[in-house]
A = this chain, B = another copy of it.
């Protein structure tokens, strides 16, 4: 049983963390902080948690956080980098669900996130928490940079192809679609129901913050620079990411279906569907899993990978719990057995 704190629990990744941790057999929730909601019962704000979480939001208190074994940051970008050092020094493990520790090149990070980085030395130390890529490093990590939602879906989708040098990495395309919850719980006109429902659009085509993160992942895997066109779109639904990935394969005669099945066969949360499948985002809604299908339309040289996750689970809180399980030596699937809801 470990003691866990959550900093910034009023957003969607926060409530999702609470949903997962409340049912985790080895976790005791010690504190959940929110300056603005201090004193409010968690289950008053999130009534789905009634009977499951008996806590109030509190103002962040360093002493309490330092007495935890692990602190999750479910905060906006730029918060964790100011608090992590103190916690790590106190022997507390840190998992940041925001972007502070994801990008190794500080200059790149500062350009895309529009602020100065407060803890560049911790970035060096931090482990990028994609278990399918870095499981061994996560075991030892003091600071884990939990991946972004788009980067999780896109990286897992391309990983076996790029790792095996099977595609032209100079011009890959990731056409990605996300549910609205990815934009968070802050009040804004752009994510009002009446602005988003019954409509669909691309956004950030000139450049999205997840582009450098994905490019870093794929370049590390390829051990070479990649050329990626990444276009995110906004879906009129709450949860789910669907990445449709395009790349050119030389015809090596490799059976790509087999390749993917073998590559992921021991992974508890990466699921390769039978040949010919089309994964639906609802098949992963609420569950910590990435499902994929591999296509080669008309037998041509363009391979199409379809990759779906729940952006709040495998794309955020679920992956964070998976990282926690690995870092503390628990069963990697502990607390993550939730079956997706369908319909």
Chain A residues engaging chain B, CB cutoff 8 angstroms: 12, 15, 19, 22-23, 44, 46-52, 171, 173, 175, 177, 180-181, 185-189, 191-203, 205-207, 227, 229-231, 233, 235-240, 242, 244, 246, 248, 271, 273-274, 276, 278-287, 289, 291, 295, 297-298, 300-302, 304, 306, 308, 337-343
Given contacts A177-B177, A180-B193, A193-B196, A342 and B46 within 8 Å (CB-CB): yes
Could you tell me if A238 and B198 are in contact, using CB atoms closer than 8 angstroms? yes
Q: For residue A20, give the distance in angstroms from its CB to the closest CB of chain B.
A: 9
Distance of A23 Cα from B23 Cα, bound (Å): 13
Could you tell me if A229 and B302 are in contact, using CB atoms closer than 8 angstroms? yes
Q: For residue A333, give the distance in angstroms from its CB to the closest CB of chain B.
A: 10
Could you tell me if A237 and B197 are in contact, using CB atoms closer than 8 angstroms? yes
**Partner among B187, B194, B237, B342 whose Cβ is within 8 Å of the Cβ of A48:** B342
Given contacts A47-B283, A202-B242, 9 further A-B contacts (CB under 8 A): A48-B339, A50-B271, A51-B271, A52-B339, A173-B246, A175-B175, A193-B236, A200-B235, A229-B302
Given contacts A205-B297, A298-B207, A337-B23, A12 and B200 within 8 Å (CB-CB): no
Could you tell me if B19 and A341 are in contact, using CB atoms closer than 8 angstroms? yes
Q: How many copies does the complex hold?
A: 4
Distance of A65 Cα from B188 Cα, bound (Å): 31
CB-CB nearest in chain B for A46? B342
Could you tell me if B193 and A192 are in contact, using CB atoms closer than 8 angstroms? yes
Distance of A286 Cα from B287 Cα, bound (Å): 13
Across the interface, which residues of B come within 8 angstroms of A289, CB to CB?
A: 51
**Partner among B19, B180, B200, B284 whose Cβ is within 8 Å of the Cβ of A177:** B200
Could you tell me if A343 and B181 are in contact, using CB atoms closer than 8 angstroms? yes
Could you tell me if B302 and A171 are in contact, using CB atoms closer than 8 angstroms? yes
Across the interface, which residues of B come within 8 angstroms of A287, CB to CB?
A: 48
Could you tell me if B231 and A244 are in contact, using CB atoms closer than 8 angstroms? yes
Distance of A281 Cα from B200 Cα, bound (Å): 6
CB-CB nearest in chain B for A190? B187
Distance of A299 Cα from B29 Cα, bound (Å): 41
CB-CB nearest in chain B for A52? B339
Could you tell me if A47 and B201 are in contact, using CB atoms closer than 8 angstroms? no
Distance of A47 Cα from B22 Cα, bound (Å): 26
Could you tell me if A240 and B199 are in contact, using CB atoms closer than 8 angstroms? yes
Across the interface, which residues of B come within 8 angstroms of A173, CB to CB?
A: 173, 175, 246, 302
Can you report 16 residue pairs joining A to B where beta carbons are below 8 Å apart? A48-B283, A48-B341, A180-B197, A181-B194, A192-B192, A193-B197, A197-B236, A198-B282, A199-B281, A199-B282, A200-B242, A201-B281, A206-B295, A207-B298, A227-B300, A229-B246
**Partner among B49, B205, B300 whose Cβ is within 8 Å of the Cβ of A339:** B49
Could you tell me if B240 and A200 are in contact, using CB atoms closer than 8 angstroms? yes
Q: For residue A58, give the distance in angstroms from its CB to the closest CB of chain B.
A: 21
Kindly name the residue among A46, A205, A284 whose own CB sees the greatest number of chain B CB atoms within 10 A.
A205
Distance of A300 Cα from B308 Cα, bound (Å): 27
